[in-house]
Structure 1
């Protein structure tokens, strides 16, 4: 192999090898510092992502709770409307029975007869 300046420290010039070794150590130190900085940056990015995802999860939870409350209110309104309609139908049925009791009894007997015939099959 030919003597090149890069190989000279291994061949004996100690005065020339010391600056190269120091330069090499300085480069290694600089590289270690860069790696440490990258690790810190990655930790910071991970923390930011965790915080953002946590914020997003909380936001979605709030929206879901709001929608659930809205649907519950709508369901209660529908139940109240159905109860009102059933009460109105009951009132109309009672009024009809009071006005025409014989027709109501005949209708009940007829409906019972039809149901009996249908249940036999």
Structure 2
């Protein structure tokens, strides 16, 4: 199942493992991504707090953790090719994976239909 935040992150959950990235809307607002700073494996993340940084030709922006958990993997491909955030934001351009601390935190996130409705109001 995939969920979305009002900060334009997506999270795809499979059991207790989740993959996190930014939405197509977010990458469009950022412009051409030139650098990403990813969280290290083992780092404890707290829902709503900074997890990563993405720098584009326009600005630097934070990527927030949609839920709390422990980082299990960062997407090393972004280090070599940060433009994956632009070309495949909701696929190969994912940022990190984590083990969920509490699945209950997912209840505060939007499904795809709710996210699309939210973006339409911006």
Larger relative CO (CA 8 A, sep 6+): 1 or 2? Answer: 2
TM-score, normalization by structure 1: 0.19
Bigger Cα Rg? 1
